[in-house]
Chain A
C-alpha cells in the first residue's frame, strides 16, 4: 500500500511519500498510525464492538488505544481524565466537529493525532492554522499548468486536507484554528453542517463532493490565543468544546517527565537520565510557578510564560544534554537553573524577575540538599 500524506510542521506543508515497507527509524517523527501500527493492528483484530460508520475501530478499542489496556499490552499514550477521551470520541461519532482547547503544552495535538490515527487509520490530513492560511489550504487549489492546458478538471484539481478527508471518510485535523482569520475559519461552516463541498468550477457529479461516512474534524485551539481571532458563533455551534488541562497529580507528571526525558536523552546519545532529586525539584518548580502556589501554601506572582509538562520535559532534556556533553556528568542544580532561565522567561521579561524572586525567597527557605543546591546556583540566572 502506498500512502501519500501531508504532515503540517510549523506552518510548512511538507509532503512525503511513505511506503509501508519503510522502516520507522528512517523517519524523524513517524505519525501515530505508523509508530503504533502493531498496537492498532492488534486492537483491530480482537475488536468485536460496534463501529460507527467509516471508523476503523470501535469506540472502546479507540479508548484502549489512547488510555492504554494492560491486558492487551497497549501502552497509555495520553494522561488525562478518561471522560475527556470519552466525550471526544462520542463527539466524533456525531454530526458535530470536535475542538480541543487548553494551555499550550497540554497534549492537545497529541490527543488529536491519536484520535485521528485510531478512528481513521490516518492522522495526516492536517491543516496547520496561521495568519497565512487561506481557503485553498483547506478545500482545494489548482495545478495551473494543467488548468491552463486542459481547463478545470478533477486532474487539475489539487485536493487540500479537508477535500481528501471528505473523499476518504477520514478525520481532518485543524491545528491552532484560532490563529486563522475568521473568514477562513468560516469556510468550515457548510462543510460541517451539510457535509458536502461544492466545486463550482467542475460540472456534473464532480461538482459536488459528498463526505464519506467517517469524515469529521478535530480542531485545536490555544487558550493563550483567546481573542486573537475570535471564533464565529455559527462555527462554535457546529463544534463541541473539550478542555484539556495540565496534569493534576504530581506523581503522574513526575513519571511522565522522567519517561519522556529519558527517551529524548537516549535519542540524543546521552546514556544517563536526569537524577531523580533534580527531576523532582524541576517538576515541583514548574508546578509551583504554574499554579502560583508553593507547597507551603504561600501565593506566588503568577507567570505569564506557559509552563507545560512538555516544557518541563524539554528543560530536563536540554539540561541532560548540557551536562553530559559539556562536562561529562549528570545534571546538577546549575543545569536546572540554566534550563529554567530559558524556558520560564520566553514571553515576558517580568517572568525573569519572578523566577529570581522565587529562587531567592521560596527556595531559600527549604532545607533539603537539592533545594539548597538550587538556591546556591541562583546566580546563574542571566
Chain B
C-alpha cells in the first residue's frame, strides 16, 4: 500500500497548499493528521461549518494537577486544510497523535507551537543565507511562489537535515512510535497520506514499515480525575506571537492573505492594511514616505533574491523609511517574543495591522463546552443567576459566593461587578447582559470548571503582564479574592523577585497599598512577608531619592503613608525607619515632598520634644516659593492628624507665606493648594479660624474664606473642560 508522509510547518500556507494538492492528486484511502487521537470519535464536529480560527481544547484535572492544551487551526493550517479537503472529497480522516493528557504534552499549552529544534542547523542556515531568524528563513525558503514538486523536494531536504542535526527527545520518540503504529494500521486498509510536523517525517517514514500487529490502545489518563476535549473559538490575537500567550506564529492575518490571494498579491494587501492603519491611528505617514518604503521593500526583495517581497522585506522596508529616530532595541520581528512595552508606536501599529482582529466562530450546532453548564448550575445553586432586571447582592469577603463572583469577574463574564467593599462585606451588582452566554462559551477555552478556568485566565494575565510590581500585586489581589490557592505561590515567588528589583517608589507604593488592603481581609503569613519586603525596599529607595527641585508626586507621598500604616498595623520595629527619616529630613539634596513626608513619619513614630523646632527649621529650609507647597504636601499627606493640632506649624507656614511677594505667592500657590487638599473641609475651617484669630479678625469669617465667590456653574463648566483636555492628552499619550 502506498504511504506518503507529508512533513509540514504548522500554520504555513505553502505547506497547506501542498497538502491540498497531494490529497487531491493521490486520493488516499485514509488521511492521517498529527492531532489528538482521542478526538477521533468526534472529528465530524470539525466539519460543522465553523469559521476558523478555532481550537480543540483538551484538559485533564486530577487532585494535584491541572493541564490544558490547545490544538489551534486557522484557515491556512495544513492540518485544517487536510481535514477540510478530506471531508470535501469523502475520504476517511483521523488524528494520529497521542492525546493531550499524555506525558509528552505535559505543560504544552499549544500543540502546534514552533519548537526551538535544531538551533544549530537553523543558525547555520541563517548565517549562510544572511537571515535574522527562523521566521525570515522559512519565508525566504518556502513561502515564495514555487511548483509543488520543487517545494516538496526542498521541504524533504530541509526536514531531513533538521532531523539529522538534532536529538529527538523521549517525548518525540514516544509520540513517533504511536503515530507510526497508526500509519501502519491504516496502511493495512489502503493507501495513506499522513500529515505531520516536518521534524517527525523522516522518523515516521523509517519506523512505520517495521511495525506489525495491532496499534497500541488509546492511553487513558493516569489517576482519577476529569478529562476531555472540545471545540472552542480562537482568535488571531491569541495566535500572534507578538501579543499572544504560548502563541504559534507571527502576523496571522498576513498569512491568511498569503493563503487566500497568493504571494504576489499578499504584500500589496499587507502594505495597504499597514498604511491604512497608520493613518487611521493619526501616525504621520506621507505619500513620499510610502513611496520610499515601497522602493526599499523592492530593493530588499531583489537583494535577498525573492520573486515577490516577503513579510520581513515589507516590514523592513517600512521600518527603514518610516522610523525617524534611533530605536532602543532591535526590530521586533528579529526574534520571537511579545512586544516590549516601549516599542515605537509605528512598529506596534504595523504589527497589529498584520496580526488582525479576526475571531473564530463555532457553528451553532457545536456541543457546548462543559464550563457553561458548570457555571449555570453553580449560579442557580447559590441563587446568583442573573436576571434582566439587575439586583444588588451583599456577600462576605472570602465566602464561597464571593469566590464565585470574583471568578466570573476575572474571566471576564459581563454582568457581575463589585460596587464596594466595606467592613468585610462586598456589594455586587448582578445583571443579565446580552453577551453573558457567548462570553461563557468563549471562557470554556480556559477550563472545564469555574476554578480551573479562573486560574488559567489568571495565569494568562500573569504571562501578559509587564511584570511591574503593582501589576503583579493586582493579580495577587485577583487570586486571593477569587480563592485561587494554587497560583499565588508562583505569583508570590515572582512578586518577591520583582519587589527586590523595583526602582520606582510610586510603583512600589501602589503594590504596597494592595498588599495592605489584602492583609486587612485575609491576614496570611505570606502577605506579612510581602509587606516586610515592601517596607525594606521602600526604605532603600527613599534613601536614594534626590532632586531638591523635584515636584511632589502623589504616588510617592502615598507610598510613605502606606509605609506608616504598615509599621502601625503590623508592629514592625520602627527604629530603622526613624533613623532613616531623621537623616532624610535634614538632607538638602532630597526632594522637598520627601523631606515633608519624612518629617510626617517622625511625627507619627518619634514625637520627641524637639520635633516642633526641627519641623520649623526644615520648613524654613524649604521655604522657597517653588518648594514650600511640595514640602507641605509631603508632610500633610503622611501625618495630617498629628500636625493639624499644632498651631506652631500653621503659624510658621503663615509667616513664610506672608514674606512672599505677589509673584512669589503665585509661584507657590498650585503646590500649596495640593498640600491643603489633604485636609477635609472641617479641618481646613479650623486652620482658617486659627489664622483669623492670630491676626485679630472675626473667626466667623472662616467658612466664607473656604468658599469660592465664582459662579458654581462656571466652575463646573471649567472642570468639564479640564476633564476633556485630560482625555485628549491621554488619547495622545501626553498626560
Interface residue ranges, A against B (CB under 8 Å):
59-60, 63, 67, 81-83, 85-87, 89-91, 93-96, 101-102, 221, 223, 226, 233, 236-237, 240-243, 245, 248, 297-299, 301
Whether A63 and B330, one on each chain, are in contact in the complex, defined by CB atoms closer than 8 angstroms, is: no
Interface residues of B toward A: which range? 20 to 34
B98 to nearest A CB, angstroms?
A: 35
Residues of B contacting A89 with CB < 8 Å? 303
Residues of B contacting A95 with CB < 8 Å? 292
Residues of B contacting A226 with CB < 8 Å? 326
Q: In the bound complex, how far is the Cα of B136 from the Cα of A237, in angstroms?
A: 28
Q: Which of A67, A101, A233, A298 contacts B130 (CB 8 A)?
A: A67
Residues of B contacting A86 with CB < 8 Å? 130, 300, 303-304, 316
Residue with the greatest number of chain A CB neighbours at <10 A, chosen from B130, B312, B331: B130
Given the interface pairs A83-B312, A87-B296, A90-B299, the reply to whether A297 lies near B497 with Cβ below 8 Å is yes
Q: Which of B136, B296, B303, B500 contacts A240 (CB 8 A)?
A: B296
Q: In the bound complex, how far is the Cα of B286 from the Cα of A237, in angstroms?
A: 10
Which single residue of chain A is at the shortest CB-CB distance from B284? A233
Which single residue of chain A is at the shortest CB-CB distance from B330? A245
Q: In the bound complex, how far is the Cα of B724 from the Cα of A332, in angstroms?
A: 64
Which single residue of chain B is at the shortest CB-CB distance from A60? B303
Given the interface pairs A82-B130, A241-B326, A243-B326, the reply to whether A90 lies near B500 with Cβ below 8 Å is no
Interface residue ranges, B against A (CB under 8 Å):
130-132, 136, 286, 288-289, 292, 295-296, 299-300, 303-304, 312, 316-317, 319-321, 323-327, 329-331, 334, 497, 500-501, 503
Residues of A contacting B331 with CB < 8 Å? 83
B292 to nearest A CB, angstroms?
A: 6
Residues of B contacting A237 with CB < 8 Å? 286, 288-289, 324
Whether A223 and B326, one on each chain, are in contact in the complex, defined by CB atoms closer than 8 angstroms, is: yes
Which single residue of chain B is at the shortest CB-CB distance from A89? B303
Residues of A contacting B288 with CB < 8 Å? 237
Q: In the bound complex, how far is the Cα of B323 from the Cα of A301, in angstroms?
A: 30
Q: In the bound complex, how far is the Cα of B326 from the Cα of A243, in angstroms?
A: 5
Q: Which of A221, A248, A299 contacts B326 (CB 8 A)?
A: A221
Residue with the greatest number of chain A CB neighbours at <10 A, chosen from B295, B324, B326: B326
Q: In the bound complex, how far is the Cα of B130 from the Cα of A298, in angstroms?
A: 35
Whether B320 and A90, one on each chain, are in contact in the complex, defined by CB atoms closer than 8 angstroms, is: yes
Whether B321 and A240, one on each chain, are in contact in the complex, defined by CB atoms closer than 8 angstroms, is: yes
Which single residue of chain B is at the shortest CB-CB distance from A244? B326
A231 to nearest B CB, angstroms?
A: 9
Whether B296 and A82, one on each chain, are in contact in the complex, defined by CB atoms closer than 8 angstroms, is: no
Q: Which of B316, B325, B326, B501 contacts A87 (CB 8 A)?
A: B316
Whether B131 and A82, one on each chain, are in contact in the complex, defined by CB atoms closer than 8 angstroms, is: yes
Residues of A contacting B319 with CB < 8 Å? 87
Residues of A contacting B503 with CB < 8 Å? 299, 301
B296 to nearest A CB, angstroms?
A: 5
A90 to nearest B CB, angstroms?
A: 4
Whether B326 and A96, one on each chain, are in contact in the complex, defined by CB atoms closer than 8 angstroms, is: no
Q: In the bound complex, how far is the Cα of B326 from the Cα of A102, in angstroms?
A: 6
Residues of A contacting B320 with CB < 8 Å? 87, 90-91, 240-242
Whether B330 and A81, one on each chain, are in contact in the complex, defined by CB atoms closer than 8 angstroms, is: yes
B493 to nearest A CB, angstroms?
A: 12
22 A-B contact pairs sorted by A residue (CB < 8 Å) = A59-B299, A81-B334, A82-B131, A83-B136, A83-B331, A86-B316, A87-B319, A87-B320, A90-B300, A90-B320, A93-B299, A94-B299, A96-B292, A101-B327, A221-B326, A237-B289, A241-B324, A241-B325, A243-B326, A245-B330, A297-B497, A298-B500
B128 to nearest A CB, angstroms?
A: 8
Residues of A contacting B323 with CB < 8 Å? 241
Residues of A contacting B295 with CB < 8 Å? 94
Residues of B contacting A236 with CB < 8 Å? 324
Which single residue of chain A is at the shortest CB-CB distance from B501? A299
Q: Which of A96, A243, A298 contacts B321 (CB 8 A)?
A: A96
Whether B292 and A87, one on each chain, are in contact in the complex, defined by CB atoms closer than 8 angstroms, is: no
Whether A81 and B132, one on each chain, are in contact in the complex, defined by CB atoms closer than 8 angstroms, is: yes
Whether A83 and B321, one on each chain, are in contact in the complex, defined by CB atoms closer than 8 angstroms, is: no
A88 to nearest B CB, angstroms?
A: 9
A219 to nearest B CB, angstroms?
A: 12
A129 to nearest B CB, angstroms?
A: 16
Residues of A contacting B131 with CB < 8 Å? 82
Q: In the bound complex, how far is the Cα of B295 from the Cα of A91, in angstroms?
A: 9
